[in-house]
């Protein structure tokens, strides 16, 4: 990313989510192994975290590894797991010093034990930080999320701790992985695909979506600025008419 400072536009998303796609193609275009693309992607992710915190974003959620990514060749999965362990080892001090609170969402059960430990240590260490919440989605799938929420709700109902009549959207919402955080206002997907790939299915109901062909390792501060400008220009209606919104605004 370039060193240019980002001028935050008028309307800033409170919660920005990013599907960081295109690492493999970036590496292939340079005749390098896919792993080189993932390493280059980590560098950009670090810059984007800084830029987002500087811009005043409250929550940044990064999709690092999906439930479906387990089906990639074992060498790639293993090298990604090693990379996550290494990056946490290297970056948590700086994130902590910069006031970033780290949280992880996803099904941790199949992650290497050392990675699970690094994740929970990082969460405990940074829990009191207030400048920005950085959520990293690892082994995350939107369908998994809705299902784990339903399982916990079903258990509560079975045990008599929840009245099925009181089950509504807000109760379900509070059992999802992003419980307590606002829904993403803006989703960026790099890498040129126009799909959600099982990311935050429930939480994206009214999210504005910015698709860019830029491959993740080429993503720049200018691209982030362009996405924030795009967001600032959206008229969010949440199902209402434009005229109704004008009345509310007055």
CA 157 to chain centre: 30
Instruction: State in angstroms the smallest separation of the CB of 21 from Mg ion.
Output: 4
Closer by beta carbon to ligand IPE, 19 or else 135: 19
Which SS3 state, helix, strand or coil, does residue 102 take?
A: strand
Catalytic site includes residue 121: no
Instruction: State in angstroms the smallest separation of the CB of 156 from ligand IPE.
Output: 31
Q: Which residue is associated with the tokens 């099925």?
A: 164
27 contacts: CB under 8 Å, gap ≥ 6: 33, 34, 35, 36, 37, 38, 40
Closer by beta carbon to Mg ion, 70 or else 206: 70
Residue 214 sits in the site that holds Mg ion (CB under 5 A):
no
CA angle 146, 151, 153 (to 5 degrees): 95
Q: Identify the active-site residue in 21, 145, 185, 218.
A: 21
Binds 66: which of ligand IPE, Mg ion, none (CB < 5-8 Å by kind): ligand IPE
CA-based torsion, 218, 222, 224, 227: positive or negative: negative
Catalytic site includes residue 69: yes
Among 13, 18, 21, 189, binds Mg ion (CB under 5 A): 21
How far is the C-alpha of 221 from the C-alpha of 232, rounded, in Å?
16
Q: Within 136-195, which residues bind ligand IPE (CB under 6 A)?
A: 191, 193, 195
Binds 63: which of Mg ion, ligand IPE, none (CB < 5-8 Å by kind): ligand IPE
The catalytic residue positions are 21, 69
């Amino acid at each position: 990313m370039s060193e240019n400072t980002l001028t935050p536009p008028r309307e800033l998303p409170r919660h920005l989510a990013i599907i960081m796609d295109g690492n493999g193609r970036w590496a292939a275009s340079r005749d390098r192994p896919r792993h080189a693309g993932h390493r280059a992607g980590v560098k950009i992710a670090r810059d984007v975290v800084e830029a987002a915190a500087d811009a005043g974003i409250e929550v940044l959620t990064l999709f690092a590894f999906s439930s479906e990514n387990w089906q990639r060749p074992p060498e790639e999965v293993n090298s990604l797991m090693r990379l996550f362990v290494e990056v946490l080892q290297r970056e948590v001090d700086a994130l902590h010093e910069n006031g970033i609170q780290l949280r992880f969402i996803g099904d941790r059960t199949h992650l290497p034990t050392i990675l699970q430990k690094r994740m929970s240590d990082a969460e405990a260490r940074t829990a009191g930080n207030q400048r920005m919440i950085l959520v990293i989605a690892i082994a995350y799938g939107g369908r998994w999320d809705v299902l784990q929420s339903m399982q916990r709700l079903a258990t509560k109902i079975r045990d008599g701790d929840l009245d099925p009549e009181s089950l509504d959207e807000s109760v379900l919402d509070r059992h999802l992985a992003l419980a307590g955080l606002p829904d993403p206002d803006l989703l960026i997907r790099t890498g040129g695909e126009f799909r959600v790939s099982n990311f935050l299915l429930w939480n994206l109901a009214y999210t504005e979506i910015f698709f860019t062909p830029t491959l993740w390792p080429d993503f720049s501060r200018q691209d982030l600025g362009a996405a924030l400008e795009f967001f600032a220009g959206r008229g969010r209606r949440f199902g209402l008419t434009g005229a109704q919104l004008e009345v509310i605004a007055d």
